[in-house]
Amino acid sequence: MAEDFNESSYSKDGAHTDFKEKMTYGDYLQLETLLDSQKRLSNHHDEMLFIIIHQTSELWLKLMIHEIEAATEAIAKGDFQSAFKMLARVSKIQSQIIQAWDVLSTLTPSEYMEFRNFLGNASGFQSYQYRLVEFVLGYKTPHIIKIYEKDPNLHTRLKKAYDSPGLYDISILALSRHGFPINNHILERDFTKKYEQDPSVANAWLQVYRKKEMYWDLYQLAEKLVDIEDWFQQWRFRHMKTVERIIGHKAGTGGTSGVGYLKHVLDHYFFPELWEIRTQL
């Protein structure tokens, strides 16, 4: 009503200007906390770049986990369309994380060496969200869990994801629900163990691709999984090359072999049968 209009609360173009009792953009996003989280341990100018790149990547990883977990639940319920939207979003997120390496690569070796010692043994290898992404995709490595035993709440969260079926496990169960004969040792396997490719799974996916009109949902699911793995491998490659560009073949701050370790993980596949069958088609 006209009598409720307070002209002082609006700018000439209609934007709200009085926020004494209202939530602002900064309040909603908790920007004061977020933007106060970049604590340099050195006085080096480029340490700010290093911190922000990694913090931003962690935010994207958080959203990836959110989407993958929801997509996994949707596939388990047979709601493929919702899952496809979420998995497509994951691929877009991955493209953002990959581009972040281009920004970090503006850090030169001599500049990084001026503050690297301040990191101590802190390393991206210890990123629990990166491990959660691996777990929710279905890749389980037992020694990783030990890193987080010092934090009971975090360890419990990781252990839950570690014990649960990942995205690929649920996708294989979807194959079985559609009538494909999947070996029982795959359907009833211990989800804490590393997945090993299986001929019954490969044959099921092969039939999906050969009869895509009959199994359109499964065909689309397969391609969404391939998209995610493709982007993941590109992220790993850009990570490896950025590290090589900045520190060469020095050991990582977390104790790994650095570039050597990153090259090794390039050979890992989350969804091996989906790549294997391409030769057979």
Distance CA 47, CA 279 (A): 46
Distance CA 148, CA 246 (A): 28
Q: Which amino acid makes up residue 89? A: R
> CA separation (Å) from 24 to 13, 16, 17, 222?
18, 10, 10, 43
Q: Binding residue per annotation — 116?
A: yes
> CA separation (Å) from 116 to 44, 101, 110, 113, 220?
10, 17, 10, 5, 44
What secondary structure does DSSP assign to 182-218, as a single string? --HHHHT--TTSPP---HHHHHHHHHHHHTTTTTHHH
The tokens for 104 are 């970090």
Reduced to 3 states (helix: H, G, I; strand: E, B; else coil), residue 14 is coil
Place of tokens 């929801």: 70
Q: Binding residue per annotation — 253?
A: yes
Q: Binding residue per annotation — 141?
A: no
Q: Which amino acid makes up residue 126? A: Q
Beta bridge partners of 10: 16
The tokens for 47 are 């340490």
Q: Binding residue per annotation — 54?
A: yes
Q: Binding residue per annotation — 53?
A: yes
Q: Binding residue per annotation — 277?
A: no
Q: Binding residue per annotation — 52?
A: yes
- Known binding residues for substrate: 50-54, 112, 116, 253
Positions at the binding site for heme: 239
Name the binding residues: 50-54, 112, 116, 239, 253
